[in-house]
Structure 1
Amino acid sequence: MAIINFGSINIDHVYQVEHFVQPGETLASTQYKQLLGGKGANQSIALALAGADVKHVGAIHESDATFKQTLIRKGVDCQYVSCTDTPSGHAIIQVTPSGENAIVLFGGANLTLNEETAQKALSNTGSSDWVLTQNETSSIADILSLAHSKQLKVAFNPAPMSDSVKALPLDCVDLLIVNETEAQAITGQSTTESIVAWFTDNWKHGEVILTLGKDGVIMVRKDGTTIKVPAFTVDAVDTTAAGDCFIGYFLSAYSQHTDARQALIRGCAASAIAVTREGAAQSIPTQNEVDHFLAKHGK
């Protein structure tokens, strides 16, 4: 059983600055880091560290092949990660001393995925395989439709949210994973209760996970029942990859037929560990760390 993740691979250029640069200003950075990022890459790493057989489908510039090696070292199968002459997707991130950030995002090679890419990556799949994707690559409609036509389970995390999401073939999605902002955009509702009610009434073809940050998660099942799991209380220092970490650990467990509540708890535990560490991909814990955390909390 494999999880085929059609996902972004970004290079994050992180600059520590005294304040956000102003028009016409040249501002010296006090610190610079170049890090592997992108929701797709983060989720693949979380899946791999959680023990899943994950195959990443994506693209980067040939000069950035070292980032592909980083994914491989984390346990991600990268046979469908191509090195192209298109610049890699990347983010220019300014971070102030108070922790505020300003980001310029460039899609780059992430937007070169096409129907042919999807057909090639899904040419040798099994009935128990899952397909996962986010909203940072091209050809999402083709990916969802092709996966559904092959009767694969499809998980979709529409982040970052955009108007184009509503035009996608969402009836192909078996598991939708959204935060409150994304859920509000899809449902038109403004409260947690009304969002859950909308999905209960209007999303009968699949399941929905609503992540609520420090308030935990709610899962709406196909039969209309809900499962609510509280978040673990920790001292958070960086929430950048919290959602990606949750998705990887939850889907790894759930795809292997773990009880839904237990899979949600495991996802919440991994996410809780991640937010106590700085960075994105590098903050994602190992299985042993999650096991220890759950044992410590009596779960």
Structure 2
Amino acid sequence: MRFVVCGEALIDLMPEEVISPEESRWIARSGGGPLNSAAALSRLGQDTYFLGRLSSDAFGDQLRSHLEAAGVNLELAVDTDDPTSVAVVSLDGEGKASYTFHFDGTSNFNWKPEEFPTLEADDWLHFGSIGSVLGPGARHMLDFVSRTEAAISFDINVRPSTLPDRAEYFRLVSDLMAAVGRGAGIVKASDEDIAWLVDDEENPLGYAQAWAEEYGLAMFIVTLGPDGVAAVRPDGRVVQVPGHKVEVVDTVGAGDTFMAGFLSAYADDPSDLEGALERGAAAAAIVVTRQGAKPPTSAELDDYLA
């Protein structure tokens, strides 16, 4: 099976050191949810293609190098002269990341219809995050997802600062869930994503079940932070696995790496949903012990699970 991961690749500017009141030092890390998932899938041994728009600027060169070093195929990537998108990362005392984005006129949001390929039924399309809801290209991504014959998974990955209007954000996400549901696909969100979208912190699994039923999804996966992850079927059946107690350095790439770990196992054996969730949770546990989104290899994940 070929995985095609569609969405943004950007630069995460992460704080390193305050030198003086006038000067600070930052690290420019390759990032973006889809880029992280593509790199993680490839490091886990999957045949992975990145379908994203990569700039001709220096940051774009870095993103290409990062993907290539992870073994990701760039034949489907789109070359553009639009500048690379940038996210400024802030970490709280527990290593939890928040983001301020600089996106206007940048590479990830100007998709054109002709830039999307035709995928086959034996491909797996994974997409999501900011590029699926923002910019003039978002409607073209929706059209692409709606017509593809590939198996589909969608990571909602809400970023409220990019679109503070909850109702509009939810409308866009609903259209994408409906498109995924036409192929009986999979949607994933964190419990915090769901709480923000519906302005209700109670019962995220209840919302997941309702959406799985309404949109015809195969399942809705909800990550629960340290409490693990649950997959909810449209009929209300729930498969849940616990989280892992680890020393968290930062949470950058945790959800993206979970999806890679989950998909790499689930695509091979859909009958073992619990095992796929466990593999995803373990992959996420490894990545949060590292600075930045540095996903494990298949061998590292096997050793951790053993």
TM-score normalised by L of structure 2: 0.83
User: What residue identity is the alignment partner of 2:274?
Assistant: R
Match of 1:271 in 2: 284
Match of 2:192 in 1: 181
Where do 1:199-278 residues align within 5 Å?
A: 199=211, 201-258=213-270, 259-278=272-291
User: What do you get for the CA RMSD once the two structures are aligned?
Assistant: 2.6
Alpha carbons of structure 1 residues 185 and 145: separation in structure 2 relative to 1, 3 Å: farther
Alpha carbons of structure 1 residues 15 and 205: separation in structure 2 relative to 1, 3 Å: closer
Bigger drift between 261-270 and 248-257 goes to 248-257
Instruction: Assess if the C-alpha contact under 8 Å between 1:59 and 1:88 holds in 2.
Output: no
What is the Cα deviation at residue 199 of structure 1?
3.7
Bigger drift between 186-195 and 168-177 goes to 186-195
Match of 2:178 in 1: 171
User: What residue identity is the alignment partner of 1:190?
Assistant: E
> The residue matched to 2:41 in structure 1 has which SS?
helix
2 CA distance for matches of 1:58 and 1:142?
13
User: What residue identity is the alignment partner of 1:15?
Assistant: P
Where do 1:153-164 residues align within 5 Å?
A: 153-161=151-159, 162=163, 163-164=168-169
Match of 2:130 in 1: 136
Bigger drift between 261-270 and 187-196 goes to 187-196
Gaps of 5+ in 1: none
2 CA distance for matches of 1:222 and 1:154?
17
Instruction: Assess if the C-alpha contact under 8 Å between 1:17 and 1:95 holds in 2.
Output: no
1:27 to 19, 22, 40: 22
2 CA distance for matches of 1:166 and 1:134?
15
- How many residue pairs get matched? 283
Alpha carbons of structure 1 residues 152 and 140: separation in structure 2 relative to 1, 3 Å: farther
Match of 1:79 in 2: 75
Instruction: Assess if the C-alpha contact under 8 Å between 2:89 and 2:98 holds in 1.
Output: yes
Percent sequence identity is: 26
1:106 aligns with 2:102: yes
1 CA distance for matches of 2:2 and 2:195?
31
> The residue matched to 2:8 in structure 1 has which SS?
coil
1 CA distance for matches of 2:89 and 2:199?
31
Match of 2:149 in 1: 151
What is the Cα deviation at residue 44 of structure 1?
0.6
Alpha carbons of structure 1 residues 267 and 94: separation in structure 2 relative to 1, 3 Å: closer
Gaps of 5+ in 2: none
